[in-house]
Amino acid sequence: MISSNLFVLCLLLLSVFVGGDEHNHIYEENEEVVLWVNTVGPYHNRQETYLYFSLPFCSGPKETISHYHETLGEALQGVELEPSGIPIDFKGSISTTPYCEVGLSEEKLKAFTYAVKNHYWYQMYLDDLPIWGVVGEIGENNEHYIYTHKKFEIGFNGKQIVDVNLTSENKVKLENGAVISFTYEVSWKNSAVKFEDRFDKYLDPNFFQHRIHWFSIFNSFMMVIFLVGLVSMILMRTLRKDYARYNKDEEMDDMERDLGDEYGWKQVHGDVFRPSAHATFFSALIGSGYHITVVTISVILLTIVGELYTERGSLISTGIFVYAATSPVNGYFGGSLYARMGGKRWIRQMLVSAFLVPAVVCGTEFFINFIAIYYHASRAIPFGSMVAITCICLFIVLPLTLVGTVLGRNLSGQPDYPCRVNAVPRPIPEKKWFMEPAVIVALGGILPFGSIFIEMYFIFTSFWAYKIYYVYGFMLLVVLILIVVTVCVTIVCTYFLLNAEDYRWQWTSFLAAASTSGYVYMYAIYYFFFKTKMYGLFQTAFYFGYMALFSLGLGVLCGTVGYIGSSFFVRKIYSTVKID
């Protein structure tokens, strides 16, 4: 009873957070247009942001309006809208007008000087269109200036706002005791831009050069064809040879066979379907991997269809929603794998499965949040959002995972392996160093990484700098190519491992594919030192925290894809060989 009430409460919470802004973007003549201020932060790190009013800016004469309702996604991204108090009316041009004054005390002077020194920018929103402005400028003799005049040029098309330009003018030197008067002016212009196209000017086709994208896709695609050809050729030839050899063995009599040289993957038929080590954790990882893959592909598709990147935070809200809604996927595949491995403690497995990803994400968030609170950054996640996330995990993700687990255990939990598992594990023979699982794992990620690293540059740059990522079609192609390459490489790895009569292929195939993320993380380290100008504890922790999260997610995705490919492969080769 209580839990069902809480469930309804959560749904309500969710609808409030996700429902968001009901603005219809239609304005009548002289209707009020609200200018929202959002954040300030250093230019070199888009993700390090503080509240606009954490700098001693002053707000305009307009009475403050109630706090803006954020969506959950916005709150998680650190969007923190406050009304600026600057009066603007639709089509009402305003010539230069002062809107407030700040007397520079020692403390305020210090804050502004710090902001100017660190190239702070502030961000505002007008009718959901983002506007950026620079706080100040450093003069020739290292004196600091602040811009005091904001010139808004707003383009309208019919009753809708389609374009906003902000120019910062009139710099004033920062001096102790000075009184700084902030002014603004607004001019309205008829514009031919269509309302649907008003975000186009924020997209940067010069940066996201389609030529480079096509080139890299073409490259990766060639690699895919090459790999698929190579894998099928090697396997066809080798397997045919192996089968021929095994068949010949059969024709020999027992005496001969005892002396014969049986070797290779067939030898481990009694062990290859032995449950993997740490079955609970392994099946939870695979379940989560299926889940992450489904969420990634659905969110990319939804973004392509809905152009989600034009709305603040809607990508994250959608991601959370899709994640919660597709939880049964996690339970189904994790639970059925665990059942096939003969696992009995399925409730424990389900709990690990359901909370693995949320726990890692929230753990990292908690760590970053801790630093963000210390620095008073707007990135600190509000308490309400934390409660909402916890509610979603407990009352949506958990029950749906339970449903999935029960279904998975009952529908595909039967171990229908082609070979029986021997009672006693076979000893693993000595082998050459390059056949060791650790080496295979380390090498496995190179090719998959090679197929994605160009796209990584674009994704990193749009996350950490002022670019809006919008080429999601390319991203989808890259993800598909990554999946194919990963599967091919992992199958080859698994073949080598089994041929060396090492049957521990489950973890090896997972980790060999997942090691892609190790290379991505190394690339992230390179990117940090050579492509960004970040500095300080906050930015460093923030960067490496989020990159670790990203890499882990990618690793679980690749690992699962690799494992799925290998398990098909293993099942296939052992179901065609005759076991005596």
Ligand X SMILES: *[C@@H]1O[C@H](CO)[C@@H](O)[C@H](O)[C@H]1NC(C)=O
Contacts 24+ apart (CB under 8 A), 8-11: 9/391, 10/388, 10/391, 10/392, 10/395, 10/396
Residue 189 binding ligand X, by CB under 6 A:
yes
How many angstroms separate the CA atoms of 55 and 130, rounded? 19
Shortest Å, Cβ 310 to ligand X = 18
Nearer to ligand X, 153 or 249 (CB): 153
Shortest Å, Cβ 458 to ligand X = 24
Shortest Å, Cβ 66 to ligand X = 29
Residue 190 binding ligand X, by CB under 6 A:
no
Nearer to ligand X, 205 or 536 (CB): 205
Shortest Å, Cβ 187 to ligand X = 8
How many angstroms separate the CA atoms of 232 and 48, rounded? 48
Write the binding mask 139 to 178 for ligand X: x where contact by CB under 6 A, - elsewhere.
Answer: --------------xxx-------x-x-------------
User: Applying CB under 6 A, what is the total number of residues that bind ligand X?
Assistant: 7
How many angstroms separate the CA atoms of 371 and 564, rounded? 39
Nearer to ligand X, 54 or 191 (CB): 191
Q: Which tokens sit at 164?
A: 């906003």
Radius of gyration of the chain (CA): 29
Q: Give the end-to-end CA distance of the chain in Å, rounded to a whole number.
A: 58
How many angstroms separate the CA atoms of 67 and 75, rounded? 13
Choosing from 59, 157, 191, 219, the residue that interacts with ligand X (CB under 6 A) is: 191
Q: Which tokens sit at 498?
A: 């089994």
Shortest Å, Cβ 352 to ligand X = 54
Backbone angles phi, psi at 68, to 5 degrees: -70, 140
Which parts of 470-499 interact with ligand X (CB under 6 A)? Answer: none
Shortest Å, Cβ 78 to ligand X = 27
- Contact predicate 492/511, CB 8 Å: no
Amino acid letter, 219:
N
How many angstroms separate the CA atoms of 135 and 43, rounded? 10
How many angstroms separate the CA atoms of 3 and 234, rounded? 56
Write the binding mask 311 to 330 for ligand X: x where contact by CB under 6 A, - elsewhere.
Answer: --------------------
Residue 278 binding ligand X, by CB under 6 A:
no
- Contact predicate 163/193, CB 8 Å: yes
Nearer to ligand X, 189 or 376 (CB): 189
Q: Which residue is nearest to ligand X (CB)?
A: 155
Q: Biggest alpha carbon distance in the chain?
A: 104
Nearer to ligand X, 193 or 435 (CB): 193
Shortest Å, Cβ 164 to ligand X = 7
Chain contacts with ligand X (rule: CB under 6 A)? 153-155, 163, 165, 189, 191
